[in-house]
Structure formats: structure tokens, C-alpha cells
Amino acid sequence: MNIIEDKFSVWQKRFSLSGFENKSSELAFVQVPADQTVAFITTVRDLDGYKHLVFFTAVDLLEDGVFRLTYMLHNYTTKHDLGIQTDISRDSASMESIHHLWPHGATYQRELKEMFGIDFPGSPGVNESFVLEGWFAMPPMRRDFDTKEYSEATFFPRPGRKTFDTQEYMKEQLYPSEAETW
């Protein structure tokens, strides 16, 4: 546990890290400013042994007006996971590419472009469709995208759909005698 904190103090001298969170002996998160992220990732990959990109994903923090990108890296020698978090603005969402560090990073970036509309200039094939095959609306994983409205407008909803409160319905239908006692 101390090793990672030692490392953090080393990193802090070179990068302006804005936060550090030690979740457990196997997992820690570091908050990095967007313009230093790729440099930081390169450092921890080449110098600290975080050679494996486990996943690369984004979270839409609509209230803060940012996308939070998380690069999860793994160190095979210390069996330690390092999550590198960085916030980028929701408007004109764009980020440096990491495809030169891990070729499969390009695939994650293609997915993020399609699902969140985050651009990664220079990433190979970033404008090709990933799973949606010709999507022309707002990227569907953005939280201001109303999926219900879109579905109703697009997919011919069958009329007569009813929604029940699951707990109440189960009480009445499955255990009618016990429904009063609950």
C-alpha cells in the first residue's frame, strides 16, 4: 500500500495531479488534468510497469458539464490496477488519442466517438461506426439523449403496455393471502 503512495509523491513532482484515491491494496485512482493525461499514461506505462490497458471508458457527468474518462491500467508484476481519471468538457469534447500506446485503444476510442461523441483526432478509424451502423442522432450514451422518446418515435411501440410496481404486483399475484400482512 505504501509503494503506491510513494509512487504518487514521485508522480506529483512531475505532473499536477489533482487527486488521489487509494481504494484498496489492488486499486487506486489518480485524477489528472486533460492536457497531461497522455504524458502521464506514457510515464506509468514505460517507467512504472502499467503495461496493460484493461479498459477505457467515459461517464457523462451532465450536472458538471464534463465527461469523465477513465483509463484502467494493470501492472502485472505488482498485480496492481491504476485508474487514471480525467475530466473533459462536454461541449467540443475532444481528447488526445492513445492508439500509439496500445493499438486496441483505437477501438475504445471508436466506441467513445460513437456512443458519447468524444473525438480523438488521429485515432485510426475513429469515424467508422462501431456497433450502431449509421447513427444520425445525438450519441445515445449522452445523458441528455432521451432514449424513451427516441424509441417511441422510431420503433412502433405496441399500444396497451402496462407498468406495474414489481413488489405490489408480486404480492397480489403470487402471495395473495400474505399481501395484507406485508
Partner 1 sequence: MSDSNKQIDEIASQMKMANDGLSEQDKAYFCDTRPHAVEPYKGILEKFANWARSQSLWILGFGTGCGAIELRPLMTSRYDMYRYGIQPRPTPRQACVFVIGGYASVKTAKRIVRSYEQMQGPKFVLGLGSCTVNGGMYWDSYNTINRLDHYIPVDVYITGCMPRPEALLAGFNTLKGMIREGKAEGMNKYIENFDWYKANQKKIIKDWNMPDYNW
Residues that bind partner 1 (CB under 8 A): 90-93, 113-114, 117, 119, 127-129, 131-140, 144-145, 147-148, 150-152, 154-158, 161
- Minimum CB separation from partner 1 for residue 31, in Å? 25
Q: Are 105 and 97 in contact (CB under 8 A)?
A: yes
Amino acid identity at 167: Q
Nearest CB to partner 1, comparing residues 42 and 129:
129
- Of residues 155 and 182, the one with the C-beta less far from partner 1: 155
Q: How many CB atoms lie within 10 A of CB 178?
A: 9
CB 44 within 8 A of CB 96: no
Grid cell locating 170? 408480486
Nearer to partner 1, 47 or 153 (CB): 153
Give the HSE-up count for residue 13: Cα atoms under 13 Å, Cβ half-sphere.
Answer: 5
Q: Which is nearer to partner 1, 150 or 169 (CB)?
A: 150
DSSP state, residue 91: T
- Rounded to the nearest whole angstrom, what is the least distance from the CB of residue 173 to partner 1 in the complex? 15
> Nearest distance from residue 18's CB to partner 1, in Å?
25
CB of 105 to partner 1, least distance (A): 19
Minimal distance, residue 118 CB to partner 1, in Å:
9
- Which of helix, strand or coil describes residue 144? coil
- Residues 76 and 49 sit within 8 Å (Cβ to Cβ): yes
Which backbone phi and psi does 84 adopt, to 5 degrees? Answer: -105, 115
* C-beta of 77 vs 154, nearer to partner 1: 154
How far is the C-alpha of 85 from the C-alpha of 73, rounded, in Å?
11
